[in-house]
Chain A
Amino acid sequence: MSEDKFISIEGISKRFPAAAGGLTTVFEDLWLSMRRGDFTCIIGHSGCGKTTVLNILAGLDASSEGTVIVDNQAIEGPSLDRAVIFQSHALLPWRSVMGNVAYAVSSKWRRWTKSEVERQSQKFIDLVGLTGAEDKRPAELSGGMKQRVGIARALSIEPKILLMDEPFSALDALTRGTLQDEVRRICVETGQTVFMITHDVDEAIYLADRIVLMTNGPGAVFAEIVDNPLPKERKRTDVHKHPLYYGVRNHIIDFLVSRSKAFAAEIEGRGYDRRRVPVVRPGAPEPVIAADTSMSGPSLSDLKQELIRGRA
């Protein structure tokens, strides 16, 4: 049970004081749980509060209400257990590639000698394919290489969770593709638990095991969790050939184009339970709600049980 709730977001809200007085609610009463080793993507329009959710998970921001529990512990501020890959890569420009990674490593293992720190850093610099660029400064690197350093830095501290805030959005399409491949490879090989924000539908389908659809703010909610039907072993060149690929893609795009705006009207009178976000497995041609809240319980078939993963 606790494996099912490795990360558990429990009723978090975020409110800001509005300009005209009173409060603006970015999102309210969000519930979500993630299993260990899962790759979860959140997709939604800009301004819906995705980044705030990630920052709360990272401990960089505090929620107005609710808590986040990671590995049975409520989070209080940032932690070395949760590494962040920033959208803007956030490298320290006065340090070399090695210096940037070593800074993280020596922050995690404070008693390590210089050679131990360098060995660990080198391992992850090699992993992201930057061997030979150790002494370069960030200013001498291309955008893709900078983000590789960001990835190496985050992975080098061997975190329980990897948090990524649109890590590839600032890159050109070719570099983005290569980096997605490598991130997927590394995460599958190491069984890394990942929580990622994106607004790129194909990226979400290629990378994630589960895709959380977030409605537009203010007052955003998690509308659905799309259970990705693609096999764990997937190739960028083949994903679009999977029979369910376009079903999933169309479902997400439909959501982003229309349902994300009108979700409040959609759920009116349907008894939407924020604590049990419906898990769907869209197939061609029509998305099917695999598990409706009202149907949850022992009466469901085994297949459906399997689909209600990540629930209480």
Chain B
Amino acid sequence: MRGEGLRMTRSLTFRATLLSIAIFALFVTVWQLATMGSGPTVPMDPEYAKLVGATASQGKSAMPGPLDVWLKVWEHLKNPFYDRGTNDKGLGIQLAWSIARVMAGYLLAVAVAIPTGFLIGMSPLMSRALDPFIQVLKPISPLAWMPLALYTIKDSGLSSIFVIFICSLWPMLINTAFGVAAVRKEWLNVARTLEVGTFRRAFTIILPAAAPTILTGMRISIGIAWLVIVAAEMLVGGTGIGYFVWNEWNNLSITNVITAILVIGIVGMILDQLLARATRLVTFPE
């Protein structure tokens, strides 16, 4: 029975992988066909054709094809950390800047949101008192804070960290408060009958019981932070993957833009998977 079940899952995984590869192949083929040149448009002098470029002479799309992108990706992979001045840095350096900013803002938000969430979850008074503030602040687009941050902090790098902080705060705060408030009464009663003090109760009962919910909030937050950093860096400029995208748009290097989009997706997926794994670690079966 068990072997059969295993074989079924294995064949399902196998078929799913096969299908994924097929979809990818189809996508690449369509992409290639759509961007391919249609041959010489009008007869012209080869020297002149070289001058006007493939788009005009061969009817080739301005959009790069999959092969162009792959060559670009390969080029970046071979040399990710070069630095040839302000507007020409390796993809690795730009990513490192973005990840560092996200981490700084995110960890700051963790440090604020989890203790505050505990307070709100444990005290109905604080919950009621802080609720209107949270309800008003939560729906504000993090980028709306940018001018205010730039004006008060007077540093574009720190301002983008602040924007990350503010956008990561709410999901973690709300999930922590909810997780803490929803700890089963019977577990709290166990602590009460054992005369466990407030601090020990917070760390030995409430924290482990609320951990899965808190980690889920942290996972939502890292996702949002990674979404927002690209936009924030486009605004403040200087360094980072968001700035890279905007800079390459100004250079009209669509190949680089597509490469950056791909990389942003992959890094976002890795961040999400890390938090998903952490969530699984603290989840307890009942």
Contacts and interface: CB of A to CB of B under 8 A. Distances in A.
A and B pair up: yes
Interface of A: 58-60, 77-80, 82-84, 86, 88, 90, 92-94, 103-104, 107-108, 137-139, 157
B144 interface: no
Contact of B285 (A80, A93, A107): A93
Nearest to B286: A93
A196 to B, nearest CB: 16
Interface string B184-206: 10110110111110001000110
A264 to B, nearest CB: 33
Contacts, number: 56
Given A92-B208, A139-B284, A79 B195 contact: yes
Identify the 4 closest CB pairs spanning chains A and B, nearest first: A107-B194, A139-B285, A90-B186, A94-B284
A137 B285 contact: yes
Contacts of B285: 93, 137, 139
Nearest to A87: B186
Nearest to A100: B190
Nearest to B191: A107
The DSSP consensus for interface residues of chain A is loop
B193 A108 contact: no
Q: Which of A58, A88, A94, A139 has its CB near the most chain B CB atoms (within 10 A)?
A: A94
Contacts of A83: 193
Contact of A104 (B184, B189, B194, B208): B194
Contact of B284 (A60, A80, A82, A93): A93
B187 A60 contact: no
A60 B205 contact: no
Given A92-B205, A137-B285, A82 B187 contact: no
A78 B195 contact: yes
Contacts of A88: 186
B195 A86 contact: no
B195 A80 contact: yes
Contacts of B184: 90
Given A79-B195, A80-B195, A107-B195, A90 B190 contact: yes
Q: Which of A83, A103, A157 has its CB near the most chain B CB atoms (within 10 A)?
A: A103
Q: Which of A77, A86, A90 has its CB near the most chain B CB atoms (within 10 A)?
A: A90
A98 B279 CA distance: 24
